[in-house]
């Protein structure tokens, strides 16, 4: 199964009117045919799945692999607070490593 790099970059807001490619998150995870994270693929390859937070002027934060039976990040309801710690929206982009 191929893993993809999912990159979320800061979208436009009052502090960054053009958005920013220097602020965001990158996930390494398998995607299904609809471009969503494949839970079964993640379980099979969780040791290779990672998350990286990058924010200009701050050290990168890296997480992964996830512990047995636990997702790399909390469920979808918690995701917005993780993906926009300062309240800024993020824009996803996709690529294959």
Confidence at residue 91, expressed as pLDDT on a 0 to 100 scale: 52
Instruction: Give the N- to C-terminal CA distance of the chain in Å, as an integer.
Output: 12
Confidence at residue 76, expressed as pLDDT on a 0 to 100 scale: 41
**Do 49 and 3 form a contact (C-beta atoms < 8 A)?**
yes
**Do 11 and 23 form a contact (C-beta atoms < 8 A)?**
no
**Do 72 and 51 form a contact (C-beta atoms < 8 A)?**
yes
Confidence at residue 86, expressed as pLDDT on a 0 to 100 scale: 53
Run of H or E residues at 44: helix 39-45
Q: Tens digit of pLDDT per residue, the chain (97 long)? A: 788 888 888 888 888 899 899 988 888 888 888 888 888 888 888 888 888 888 999 898 888 765 555 555 444 443 444 444 455 555 555 544 4
Confidence at residue 22, expressed as pLDDT on a 0 to 100 scale: 92
Number of folded domains that form the chain: 1
- The residue range of the domain holding 48 is 4-95
Side-chain half-sphere CA neighbours of 42 within 13 A? 22
């Amino acid at each position: 199964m191929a893993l993809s790099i999912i990159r979320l970059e800061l979208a436009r807001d009052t502090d960054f009117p053009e958005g920013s490619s220097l602020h965001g998150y990158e996930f390494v995870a398998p995607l299904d045919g609809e471009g969503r994270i494949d839970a079964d693929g993640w379980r099979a390859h969780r040791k290779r799945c990672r998350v990286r937070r990058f924010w200009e002027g701050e050290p990168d934060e890296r997480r992964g692999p996830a512990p047995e039976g636990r997702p790399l990040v909390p469920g979808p309801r918690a995701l917005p607070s993780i993906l926009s710690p300062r309240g800024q929206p993020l824009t996803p982009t996709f690529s294959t490593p």
